[in-house]
Amino acid sequence: MQLSRKAEYALHALMYVTSVSGHHHASISEIARNAKIPREYLAKVLKGLTNAGYLISVRGVNGGYRLAKAKEKISFLDILEATQGPFVISRCPDKNRCPDYQFWDEITKYLKKMLGDMNLGKIDYEKFARKNKK
């Protein structure tokens, strides 16, 4: 039940972009360095998040990435689903086949609620900002 590496990278990339928003657009090298994500892998993650409508790539001298919508409008559930598809815990599709269906269904509902309520606007970025370098 671990988060996929891709999902963790997407979350950390978006949190970094959010933490510098209002200040500057985040370059890919800067995100890689500060969010500790291998640069090549990060390029794919950022492309996926751009295509999914969560990031905008701005060209030019002061270019870089910025959020495509308000930080409060991007939930953790949105981010996980953008990177790994619909959120599921168990593969069992049918309560008549799996004796543990109800248990996982309850956990899935709880997690979807928690992840849907959590968003990029609820993070305390101040604490981390001092360590970030452009």
Question: What DSSP assignment string belongs to 24-83?
Answer: -PBPHHHHHHHHT--HHHHHHHHHHHHHTTSEEEEPSTT-EEEESS-GGG-BHHHHHHHH
- Is 114:4 a contact under the CB 8 Å cutoff? no
Site residues (CB under 8 A) for its own copies, limited to 43-72: none
Q: How far is the CB of 3 from its own copies (least distance, A)?
A: 6
Binds its own copies (CB under 8 A): choice among 39, 44, 88, 109 = 88
Neighbours of 100 (CB within 10 A): 10
Residue 105 sits in the site that holds its own copies (CB under 8 A): no
Binds its own copies (CB under 8 A): choice among 44, 51, 72, 110 = 110
- Is 71:21 a contact under the CB 8 Å cutoff? yes
Residue 11 sits in the site that holds its own copies (CB under 8 A): yes
H or E stretch at 8: helix 5-20
Residue 6 sits in the site that holds its own copies (CB under 8 A): no
Q: How far is the CB of 104 from its own copies (least distance, A)?
A: 8
Site residues, its own copies (CB under 8 A)? 1-3, 5, 7-8, 11-12, 15, 19, 36, 76, 80, 84, 87-92, 97-100, 103-104, 107, 110-111, 114, 118, 123-125, 127-128
